[in-house]
A and B are shown apart, each in its own frame.
Chain A
Amino acid sequence: MREFLIGKLNADALPHEWFTIAGSVGFTLMLLFAVGLITYKKRWKWLWNEWFTSVDPKKIGIMYFIAGGFMLVRGGLDAIMLWLQQSLSSGSSHGYLSADHFQQIFTAHGNIMVFFVAMALIFGLINYIVPLQIGARDLASPFMNTLGFWLYVAGVIMVNMFFFLGNEYGAAGWLAVAPLSGKEFSPGVGMDYWIWSLQISGIGTTLAAINFIMTMLKMRAKGMTLFKMPLFTWGSLCSMAMAVTVFPLLTMTIFLMFFDRYFGTHFFTTTGGGNAMMYTNLIWMWGHPEVYILMLPSLGVFSEVVSTFSRKPIAFYKSNVFGMIGISTLALMVWLHHFFTMGAGADVNSAFGVATMIIAIPTTVLVFSWIVTMYKGKIRLTVPMLWFLGFIAVFALGGISGVLLAIPPVDFQLHNSLFLVAHFHSTVVGGVLFGIFAGLAYWFPKIAGFRLNERIGRYAVWSWIIGFFVAFIPLYVLGLMGATRRLDHYDASTGWQPFFIMSLIGGIIIAIGAALQIVQIIASFIQKRRLADTTGDPWDGRTLEWSVASPAPAYNFAVIPEVSSRDAYFEMKKLGISKPTYKDIHMPKNTASGIYISIFAFLVGFGFVWEIVWLVVVSILGIIICLIAKTFNEDSEYTIPAEVVEKMEEHQADKVRAFHKDDDEVDMGLLEFIKIALSWAWRLVRGKR
């Protein structure tokens, strides 16, 4: 009976390791604080109606940013823990982590950074910016969008669930290589949490990607042909096209792994005729393109940033587009370079090595396109531009080491070494994270209505870049010294320890950079009025998102613009904008179905992890019922009458006219921020007395 009710759950599952106790207490405190604050401010209704059930891609985008930023801190803490262990654990010292715990941390670090940070931030940007860039009011399927987001949130909760129940996460690496991840070698629930966190959020990703493809291909403003689309939208389109191609492979592969673990099938097992090499192939068929799924929107961001801040249209627009298409197509055909060392033979390895090298061609073309754009431009070295310049340095390192790894005989020596770890951090931190940060700095005025503090922003950029080199150059060197990755302990005679310590110091500098980014956002909030963007076009932008007010109104465009050239808004500004005629606007209604379905999806996963059959059955039924109710609910839209639109637009115009800005005032520096923070704290303390 007990087994029927709560499956494998027992007292042992409660937190009893130091890290699960710390984690569960920490999360509970944060949750209590949030709940308390919302209750105190009486904001529950507002939160539910305005945010949680919202189908507005702008709000969903912001929620992605918040969740992704939160997980970035979570994944960053993992990274610091890994660095610390490796700096300590040399020779007779074994550090402060057990081998198993260390392996769980790097598994979680990889999963969190890729699935729950990078994907989330990319989706946040796409959600907010793409509809604005193509002149759309909404996404093709607003419901799929909220469902995708809440499935992602369910994944986030699932990936942290082991703190509360189970005491272990998967310890088989972020891709859970078989047969290590099978029941035979990983019998615990950690792997099951891995399976379900990725499965649930992966399905959310597929849904979101389908939705964005529909939006980008079917909802562009009149006149915006494919070759007039802004490059960020192009990057997103390539990325989402790859996502719908490879995420089904991930879903199926994890599904088969799930069958191996739960029903004793023999897909990836060592016994029964299973084939573990097949798992390696399948997971990398998804895993390699995944990196490019993350990178392409970032490359698009850089194209926008370089063009705007050089005050020039992007050079070689078509080559740039074909470059991105080339990258996304080629990226689907190179997965085998992740395991040249599995013994495929010289011919197969050569073919995949060549394919991998070919990817370097379109990537270089993109760099050329940026260089020529800067040539004879008027370059403003703003924070987004600094991120771009930093990205180039980091990415060049990643690119060169990447081509080295594409040469099979060289890869035999470098594979699974720290050189490889340094390589992919160069590409992912440079090519993905820096791009996201550049995008956030660039579009922040559009999202928040005021731009970010430039001075503190600069400090943050420099900390990240310096920190990156101090942290990862030693890893390249360690790889050349023969250090394999994922070591929780090594001999003192290797001479590796100083480099691990140096790397840790770099990690701390990066952490300072991240802290400065938080300070930057807070400082900008303090100076909100001074930094306000009243025109909606703070950078003298070129694309349509700058033609609307900041922050963008719920309906994005009061009147859908008609596009006749590439830098559509830049042309409009030159020609002048005449007074529009307003029409009724149809907008989708909010829905809570996405949340309900995601709760059930989470419970399905939870039920499977702990083998609670009734919970699984009930939850699947719940999902089906929610879907039916949603599909056959015909009343899903409301209308904003033309007069209301006109009133709102005029109100906005009045606000712009009424607003006077003191031009002498400047962004506060770090010292000023500290002064303000201290005096605020002092007032708080005194007030209590």
Chain B
Amino acid sequence: MTHAETSEEMSHEEAANDRVMFGFWVYLMTDLLMFSVLFAVYAVLHGNSLGGPTGRDLFSPPLALTETLILLTSSFTCGLGMIAARKGIKKQTLFWFGITFLLGLAFLSIELYEFVEFIHEGHTMRSNAFMSSFFLLVGTHGVHITSALIWAAITLFFVAKRGLTKSMVRKLSMLSLFWHFLDIVWIFIFTVVYLMAFV
């Protein structure tokens, strides 16, 4: 039984790329499951403020809305960056991903500002179960954003240095997938944590 590779078959490298992208999707699923635990925990515990302030007392809707808009915009710029990367235009790629990076930084600053404000007012994650679940849910998202930013910075550095090779484009598309994923998770956080507090 002989076996000949036909031209229709994917090249060795393309097949590897295909696998890695698939694996990354599976990873995103596991990450989503971790968030789902945090959402479930928040759903169970958000009422247990034991007389402390509730979400309605604490959250500022304009701030959360600003965060949401920033993150949505960043998803858009990230998409533009990906289009440029697929076309192989290095400058545009760096520009749009750079914008995405800055927007992410802005989002993170607002989130940190909110946290510092709460802690300053004496509402830490030790206060009660509601605050614990709030800080862990939003904080975990923040940590993800932080790691995405570090990842973006390094990838962009290597794109600038090595150019848009196939594997670099793959790394960028993984990064953009991750970024959109975090955007979606944030939409859920915005709904479940911030909007529901005012329903």
Interface residues of A (CB under 8 A from B): 140-141, 144, 206, 210-211, 213-214, 217-219, 222, 244-245, 247-249, 251-253, 256, 259, 263-267, 272-275, 278, 282, 559-562, 572, 575, 577-578, 580-581, 583, 586, 624, 628, 631-632, 634
Expressed in whole angstroms, the Cα–Cα distance for A632 and B154 within the complex equals 9
Expressed in whole angstroms, the Cα–Cα distance for A263 and B41 within the complex equals 17
Expressed in whole angstroms, the Cα–Cα distance for A214 and B16 within the complex equals 10
CB distance from B178 to the nearest CB of A (A): 13
- A266-B132, A624-B150 in contact; A210/B26 too (CB < 8 A)? yes
- A282-B37, A580-B3, A581-B4 in contact; A218/B22 too (CB < 8 A)? yes
Residues of B within 8 A of A144 (CB): 23
Contact (Cβ within 8 A) B23 A141: yes
Contact (Cβ within 8 A) A275 B129: yes
Closest chain B residue to A207, Cβ basis: B27
Residues of A within 8 A of B1 (CB): 561-562, 572, 575, 577-578, 580
User: Which 8 A-B pairs have CB atoms at the shortest separation, nearest pair first?
Assistant: A273-B48, A273-B129, A265-B132, A248-B33, A252-B37, A214-B23, A264-B126, A266-B129
- A214-B26, A631-B171 in contact; A560/B3 too (CB < 8 A)? yes
Q: Is B31 an interface residue (CB 8 A)?
A: yes
Residues of B within 8 A of A252 (CB): 33-34, 37-38
Q: Is B133 an interface residue (CB 8 A)?
A: yes
A-B contact pairs, 13 of them (CB 8 A): A141-B20, A144-B23, A218-B22, A244-B30, A249-B34, A249-B37, A252-B38, A259-B125, A265-B135, A274-B48, A275-B129, A575-B1, A583-B5
- A218-B22, A251-B34 in contact; A266/B5 too (CB < 8 A)? no
Closest chain A residue to B135, Cβ basis: A265
A251, A572, A631 — most chain B CB neighbours (10 Å): A631
Interface residues of B (CB under 8 A from A): 1-5, 12, 15, 18-20, 22-23, 26-27, 29-31, 33-34, 37-38, 40-41, 44-45, 48-50, 125-130, 132-133, 135-136, 150, 154, 158, 165, 167, 171
Contact (Cβ within 8 A) A248 B19: no
The total of interchain contacts (Cβ-Cβ below 8 angstroms) comes to: 126
Could you list 17 further interchain pairs (A-B, Cβ under 8 angstroms) beyond the known A213-B23, A222-B3, A578-B1? A210-B23, A218-B18, A247-B30, A249-B33, A249-B37, A256-B37, A264-B126, A265-B125, A265-B132, A266-B128, A267-B129, A273-B128, A275-B48, A282-B40, A560-B3, A632-B154, A634-B167
Closest chain A residue to B48, Cβ basis: A273
CB distance from A208 to the nearest CB of B (A): 12
Contact (Cβ within 8 A) B129 A248: no
Closest chain B residue to A631, Cβ basis: B171
CB distance from B26 to the nearest CB of A (A): 5
Expressed in whole angstroms, the Cα–Cα distance for A560 and B15 within the complex equals 15
Residues of B within 8 A of A631 (CB): 171
Expressed in whole angstroms, the Cα–Cα distance for A495 and B34 within the complex equals 48
CB distance from B23 to the nearest CB of A (A): 4
Expressed in whole angstroms, the Cα–Cα distance for A578 and B34 within the complex equals 51
Expressed in whole angstroms, the Cα–Cα distance for A255 and B60 within the complex equals 28
Closest chain B residue to A279, Cβ basis: B41
Contact (Cβ within 8 A) B154 A273: no
Expressed in whole angstroms, the Cα–Cα distance for A214 and B48 within the complex equals 42
Closest chain B residue to A266, Cβ basis: B129
- A263-B125, A628-B154 in contact; A278/B41 too (CB < 8 A)? yes
Expressed in whole angstroms, the Cα–Cα distance for A656 and B45 within the complex equals 67
Closest chain B residue to A583, Cβ basis: B5
Contact (Cβ within 8 A) B45 A267: yes
Residues of A within 8 A of B40 (CB): 282
Residues of B within 8 A of A267 (CB): 41, 45, 129, 132-133, 136
CB distance from A412 to the nearest CB of B (A): 25
Residues of B within 8 A of A211 (CB): 23
